[in-house]
Structure 1
């Protein structure tokens, strides 16, 4: 491949890509968690949660591809193994199968974590004057903020 020259210094490209790797890892971990809950949810809200979780993991599947491709656009290798995602993600794995309300609570917290990861990545991308990464991260942040709000609305006060 020829040398990259997109108007962002190598140091800035690497710094942005490192933050995007964390966002990718969080997003993939959340994808797996959501898919797991989709398969295993039970109870009176089964149908509603089963369908909602499917909507969420389908959206996340597209997101991880977009994030990984942005990392590649910055000329950095995207992580792609469970081991690398586990090392990079701030979202903790869930053992066993929680009950439905706990699933909603755990997913709410995970989406909020992704928002916090986005905020850090956005700051680094803005500092690097990387509008493309900033736009991507801003879009992801909005999705996760809205999803967390919708999940929180399902929880008892």
Structure 2
């Protein structure tokens, strides 16, 4: 078994980096969706949602950077073209969404997809004994589960 400079199995980190790149691509799409709904939201909930969407896209932007830096830490290269992002897309693309409920539904659908990917990465990171990736995914999952709950509550639904 070959270990890299941070003490992880190189074969397992290669798989992790591929999964993290998938997550990175989808986070970029999620980020762009958030920018779009932030710009285009209309209606009585505008003031509250405009601010909330900015909060979410700012957070997503930070997470994009964290994911890319983790990929680099594992010895791989992060995806960085829109072509790569769209090829890896699992997150729904929101186009011209201006209605409050549609925007919130897009966020919930997107986070649900991201959570699936993160849980998969969490499993792989555990098998690779990669505490760095594991901790990052755990933090992401905790925050996003709460956001899903809040968005569903806003829509009058339960998780």
Q: Same fold (TM over 0.5)?
A: yes
Map 1:80-91 onto structure 2 (within 5 A): 80-91=80-91
The count of residues paired between Structure 1 and Structure 2 equals 155
Superposed structure 1 runs of 4+ greater than 6 Å apart: none
Aligned match of 2:14: 14
- Provide the TM-score with structure 2 as the length reference: 0.92
Which ranges in structure 1 are unaligned for 5 or more consecutive residues?
A: none
SS where residue 154 of structure 2 aligns? coil
Find the aligned partners of 1:28 and 1:145 in 2 and give their Cα distance: 19
Q: Which has the higher relative contact order, 1 or 2, with Cα contacts under 8 A spaced 6 or more apart?
A: 1
Aligned match of 2:103: 103
Find the aligned partners of 2:40 and 2:30 in 1 and give their Cα distance: 15
Which ranges in structure 2 are unaligned for 5 or more consecutive residues?
A: none
Displacement of 1:116 in angstroms is 0.9
Aligned match of 1:112: 112
Root-mean-square deviation (CA, aligned residues, Å) is 1.4
Alpha-carbon contact 2:92-2:109 (below 8 Å) kept: no
- Provide the TM-score with structure 1 as the length reference: 0.93
Displacement of 1:98 in angstroms is 4.4
Query: CA-to-partner distance for each residue in 1:116-141, whole Å, 9 max, x for gaps?
Result: 11000111111111010100111111
